[in-house]
A and B are shown apart, each in its own frame.
Chain A
Amino acid sequence: MRSLDLAVLLAAGSPGGSSCLASTTSLEPAGGRHTSVAPAKFAERGKKGGVYAYEQRYLGDESRYAVVIDSKQSQLNRAEQALAQAVEDGHPLLSRVPHVQVTYERDGMVERYYDLTLPHRVFDGHIRAGMIDGQPTTQTAAYRAVRDATPANARALLETSPVTLVFGGWDSSRRSRQGRWRSALVGEIVGFVSASRDGTGVLTEPKPGMRGGARVDPVGMQINLGKKVMAETAERQRAELSPGNYDGIVKVANGIKPGDAKSASALGLGGIPPTLDQLAGVACDTIIRTHVLSFATLRQMRFGAGVEGDAACRALLAALALNALARSDAELYLRANCDLVEAEVPMVRLDQRGGEFLDVEPLSIDAADLLLSEALAHAEKVADVTWSGLALRVTGNPDIVSGAVDTDAEEK
């Protein structure tokens, strides 16, 4: 089986190259096929509590119900997070990936955010609302070049925020010439579940099982406190309590009459009787992770470097996407009670046009790093690409930080 090397990526990034690379992996619960997994939980409009996202899918030609274990957005977030973590860790190669940093100062502490993790990447509101060297970000020549980049020449983005080209971004608030970059990498994890059929053969949407939630306090299942003790306990824990929670407890305490006592459950005291109101895990007979890297998307970008140079830049972006994918695929811990393992070697296929496909070896992190370094060296050579890490340093708008604090307090 052929390795996924630079020559493959260069060919794919050139006219007549592959449409896409598809990676499919069969997964199973780390505890074994008999165990359930906790899918992603979503809100239900107009109701409290969470729900799972079930959808009908075909497994082969069979219509089935599947549950979304990890959505496309979540999978991309994990890939970006893997890159961001490598940058934070000072990875010598990935630290060279151009990125934008936004810093906020809150309570004397500096918080850092990157285009790698902000929801709309380089077009995110936190970047646009900030300042660069004392000038509003949107008024600087460097940022305007990023916003004005088009498929005819995306060089400014390649050298400022290549993750926007790989994972997509939409400059949605701009009045015209909006940057609209589709994600070149998409993916998801879905689990197929059993479902019954009605008399006409139509599948019935599965209902998730519910599990009991309870808390045992060995001191006593109910602990009631008088006004003074409750107020003093709350005061001692004030630093650990949210402002909203603290205010609520004090209000309750002030309402306790002399000689009376009320439950101190808000202070974490006492037990909680079991109730069947929490979503249980879901048993899946088949779990599939799929990713598609679209070379057709990458080929809709030019970088002012001529035919060979543009192909080198596309190969560089593809190598970056594959690097993020290799890193995120290596971590199969998604959330509590959702530990997965690969049930077989991932199947990676490269479209060769005309119904032909090339099976290639899946990339390990080391191999992905090697591929990225080769792609970067080639792009430096033939396309004069310069990747030297932090490209734009943005000072965040302090009004946003204060807004965030107030919003948190409001929610609690």
Chain B
Amino acid sequence: MSFAIVAEPLLGVYKGHIGDGQPDPLPSPARLHAALLCAAAQGVRAVAEADGLRPCDADRDALRWLEANPPDGIAVPQTLRNGGAATAYRKEGLVVKEGRNPLSDKLIGKPAVRGVAVTGRFAWTWEQSPPEPVAAALAELCPEVPYLGTSESPVLLSVVDAEPTHRLDREADLFTGDGLDLAVAVTGRVDALEAAHRAASSPPPLKADAHRSSERTEPPPVATASLTIGRYSQPQPPPSPTPWASALLFPLERPIPPESRVRCAVAVHRTLIALVGDGAPAILTGVYEAGVPRPANRCAIQFLGPGAPAVGGAAAVLLLLPREASDVDLALIRIAAPRLRVVRVASGPFSVGVPVEVPADRFWPEPAAGTERWWQTDPVAVPDTRPPRGGRWSLADAAALSVALVWRQEISALGRGDARYRALAEAAAGRGVRVQSAVRVMDGDVGRYVHRVHPDTLIQPYRAILGLGDLTGPRTIAAIGQSRHLGGGLLVPVDLPADIARRMVR
């Protein structure tokens, strides 16, 4: 059962400061803890001690439970950060001697507009309800909190249901990755704040109270003990289904050079069809009867060099099995595949080992620590279409369109023809697809990179580095572009340092 403390900003704004006066974008768990402690130590639930007050035992237990149990999640509503040059000059209530003037009122200028506008409510959530006495104490304490941040942002605090938008990542590396890094109270925070309050509470000697000719504010030191930083991250949506469900990986006796891969893939293709024999499924042959809808992806044949990850230093040929294939078709292919032994090409036959089947979403190794996984076309990719008319169109757009066509089940776009191509490329970008370093490969023999194309299509092989956004996980094998089914456009991993990757995303 979950538990949540919710704060409703009553003036539609949240105003607070952190550090050296920087605007606080949202109330942290530590600020909630401090506000609850203040209410516990001064409000109607506080108990008398000497000439002051202290939190009752129930409230102290509740606050200590908060220290041991930071919120598992937080809910951040939509906010709009404000600022601007408008400055309000106000008398500070101090009389000072400045410059040539004798005594005068201290006038200071502060930004007239600060804080963030808020629609909705902030919330701090726990996946498990606290013990009953703690829950009861917090429910009683919350309405005793008047403000979070400055008194210009009054709140209504209560214990009600809420769903988090961000969850505490207990394994987070605070130097890499994304999320909200927020101050969190840990064990000892109540004691630290109470000690700081006691230290600041003893009345000064009579002499020290005398009015001085030049006054200044004496802010008490900020208690920073028993605070830590917690990373609250937005949960990533589950990646889209992989375009190919699995890959049959055949070891090769020798690597196939990049410029021969299309031709070799065609040879493997023909051999496989022959092994399946009559009734070879269209998902393998690529030949569909008129009127039969074509899937986004068919069986794809790709090659890996010995340097590629996941193959243990040996070259390999892959048969990628499409997710959209029927079980019957896949069974026919799986029966025929182990019989693939020798493939004959003009440059000489090559032998193929016994295949193993690897799930497509667990094909590549995990990204290295501190890196983000991007992808490089190997050896090259070829655009699926000619450049659409009516505006600028780059190789990066062509690559984004190719990604959208591979993940066609996940990315849809309205319109027809060129308008649809543009919309698909934009939709891919909307899913976080980013294309960097797209460079055309100048080669007179485009037959090295593509087997058969429409006569109207301009062949523009290119190399590029891509980020696939939230379309897929970091271990998925896939290929893009016109030649993705026969030896081109394979996406092999490129692990970029996280800071460089973030800059590329921006």
Residues of A within 8 A of B (CB): 14-16, 19-20, 22, 42-45, 47, 51-58, 60-61, 63, 68, 71-73, 118-121, 123-126, 128-129, 136-139, 144, 147-148, 150-153, 168, 170, 172-178, 182-184, 186, 188, 205, 290, 292, 294, 296-297, 299-302, 351, 353-355, 397, 399-400, 402-404, 406-407, 410
Contact = CB atoms under 8 A, between A and B. Distances in A.
B10 A20 contact: yes
A195 to B, nearest CB: 12
Contacts of A296: 39, 43, 143-146
Contacts of A300: 38-39, 42-43, 144, 146
B52 A152 contact: yes
Contact of A57 (B13, B101, B105): B13
B218 interface: yes
B43 A55 contact: no
Contacts of A124: 93
Nearest to A302: B53
B44 interface: yes
B216 interface: yes
B117 A402 contact: no
Interface stretch (B130-138, B152-160, B338-346, B466-474): B152-160
A63 B80 contact: yes
A34 B378 CA distance: 65
B196 to A, nearest CB: 12
A58 B119 contact: yes
Nearest to B160: A355
Contacts of A150: 51-52, 201
B10 to A, nearest CB: 5
B112 interface: yes
A123 B101 CA distance: 22
A403 B10 contact: no
A44 B86 contact: yes
Nearest to A18: B143
Interface in B61-98: 78, 80-82, 84-95
Nearest to A52: B86
A15 B154 contact: no
Contacts of B101: 403, 406-407, 410
A71 B85 contact: no
9 contacts: A43-B109, A45-B109, A53-B84, A68-B112, A119-B93, A125-B215, A168-B151, A177-B200, A353-B158
B154 A292 contact: yes
Most chain A CB inside 10 Å of its own CB: which residue of B51, B152, B158? B152
A55 B10 contact: no
Contacts of A147: 203, 209
Interface string B29-55: 000000000110011110010011100
A120 B105 CA distance: 11
Closest 3 CB pairs of A and B: A120-B93, A125-B95, A58-B119
A173 B12 contact: no
Contacts of A183: 151
B328 interface: no
B144 A172 contact: no
Contacts of B85: 44-45, 47, 51
B156 A148 contact: no
A178 B218 contact: yes
A60 B206 CA distance: 53
A56 B117 contact: yes
Interface in B445-493: none
B90 A403 contact: no
Interface in B7-31: 10-13
Contacts of A294: 146-147, 154
Interface residues of B, number: 74
Given A174-B204, A184-B146, A397-B95, 7 more contacts: A45-B85, A63-B80, A138-B209, A150-B201, A176-B204, A300-B43, A406-B102
A26 to B, nearest CB: 15
B104 interface: yes
Interface in B165-217: 199-204, 206, 208-212, 215-217
B102 A403 contact: yes
B152 A186 contact: yes
Given A45-B87, A138-B210, A400 B39 contact: no
A262 to B, nearest CB: 31
A173 B218 contact: yes
Contacts of A170: 93
Given A44-B87, A125-B93, A129-B95, A20 B104 contact: no
Interface string B306-329: 000000000000000000000000
Chain A interface SS verdict (over half): mixed
Interface of B: 10-13, 38-39, 42-45, 48, 51-53, 78, 80-82, 84-95, 100-106, 109, 112-113, 117-119, 140, 143-147, 151-152, 154, 156-158, 160, 199-204, 206, 208-212, 215-220
B111 to A, nearest CB: 9
Contacts of B109: 43, 45
Contacts of B212: 173
Contacts of B211: 125, 128-129, 136-138, 397
Contact of B147 (A118, A177, A182): A182
Contacts of B203: 144, 147-148, 176-177
Nearest to B145: A296
A312 B381 CA distance: 80
Given A53-B113, A178-B218, A58 B78 contact: yes
Contacts of A53: 84, 86, 88, 112-113
Contacts of A292: 10-11, 154
Nearest to B77: A58
Contacts of B103: 129, 397, 399-400, 403
Contacts of A176: 199-204, 220
Most chain A CB inside 10 Å of its own CB: which residue of B81, B91, B146? B146
Most chain B CB inside 10 Å of its own CB: which residue of A173, A353, A399? A173
Contacts of A125: 93-95, 105-106, 211, 215
Contacts of B158: 353-355
Contacts of B204: 174-177
B90 A186 contact: no
Given A148-B203, A152-B48, A300-B144, A139 B95 contact: no
B93 A123 contact: yes
B93 to A, nearest CB: 3
A212 B221 CA distance: 51
A301 B46 CA distance: 11
Most chain A CB inside 10 Å of its own CB: which residue of B44, B92, B216? B44
Most chain B CB inside 10 Å of its own CB: which residue of A125, A297, A299, A302? A125
Contact of A172 (B43, B94, B102): B94
A311 to B, nearest CB: 9
Contact of B92 (A54, A61, A71, A172): A172
B93 A56 contact: no
A406 B80 CA distance: 44
Nearest to A45: B87
B162 to A, nearest CB: 13
A182 B38 CA distance: 12
Contacts of B48: 152
B93 A118 contact: yes
A71 B118 CA distance: 18
B165 to A, nearest CB: 16
Contacts of B90: 73, 119
A181 B45 CA distance: 19
Contacts of B82: 55-56
Contacts of A61: 78, 119
A206 to B, nearest CB: 12
A71 B101 CA distance: 30
Contacts of A152: 42, 48, 51-53
B495 to A, nearest CB: 31
Nearest to B118: A58
A299 B44 contact: yes
B102 A399 contact: yes
